[in-house]
Copies of this chain bind each other. A is one copy, B any other.
Amino acid sequence: MIKYPDSFKELAECFEMYPGIGPKTAERLTFFTLLNLDDESVEKFSKSLKKAKDNIKQCNVCGMLTDQECCHLCKDDTREKKIMVVESTKDVIAFEKTDSYHGKYHVLNGTISPLDGIGPEEIHLDNLIQRIKNENILEVILSTSSSIEGEMTALYIKKMLEETDVKVYRIGYGLPAGANIEYADEVTLIKALEGKKEI
């Protein structure tokens, strides 16, 4: 029988909390920590974990991750008077990488999901109308996913924004770049047909 020291097992369990890291990988990472990393690196890793968790919070305004009160995207006055509503901070990163959207963001904490007991109150919608007024927003783009929950959330926000005179858009759905029609699923094809454009 293999008997690992207790602190070995504890560390391996911590690695196992992450998605995609099973017992084997956790063991390998723990061995690497003990055998290949020097004391200084491990110390740095240990501190970075705590520091990142303590310092990085969601921006008070848009919900993006930041280590300040208000994130650099909200502070940036040169950004266009648009707000893109997304489901998570990772979606912000994805759009920022394209370098073709230059407006602001509003990060929801997921989507409305009645089956899981998540209503509109839980997903950081409370200050959206206030933001539209404060920041003189002209356009809102709803970039939630095309799942049932994503569509429902988009619909809810559209209704909510009827009291303002902001223009509301839903992001375009259709065939992804490089896609083969033969292998596309039916829902994607239907959406692509709906989103047809004159050329």
Contacts and interface: CB of A to CB of B under 8 A. Distances in A.
Interface residues of A, number: 52
A18 B29 contact: yes
Interface stretch (A37-45, A138-146, A182-190): A37-45
Interface stretch (A52-60, A172-180, A191-199): A52-60
Contact of A46 (B6, B46, B88, B93): B46
Interface in A68-84: 68, 72
Chain copies in the assembled complex: 2
A35 interface: yes
A50 B46 contact: yes
Interface stretch (A7-15, A122-130, A161-169): A7-15
Contacts of A41: 14, 17
Interface in A17-55: 17-20, 25, 29-35, 37, 39, 41-53, 55
Closest 3 interchain pairs by CB? Answer: A5-B67, A14-B45, A11-B52
30 contacts: A1-B99, A2-B93, A2-B97, A3-B72, A5-B66, A7-B48, A7-B51, A7-B52, A7-B55, A7-B67, A8-B52, A8-B56, A11-B48, A11-B49, A14-B41, A14-B44, A14-B48, A17-B37, A17-B41, A18-B32, A20-B25, A31-B89, A33-B52, A34-B53, A34-B56, A35-B65, A35-B88, A42-B50, A45-B49, A46-B46
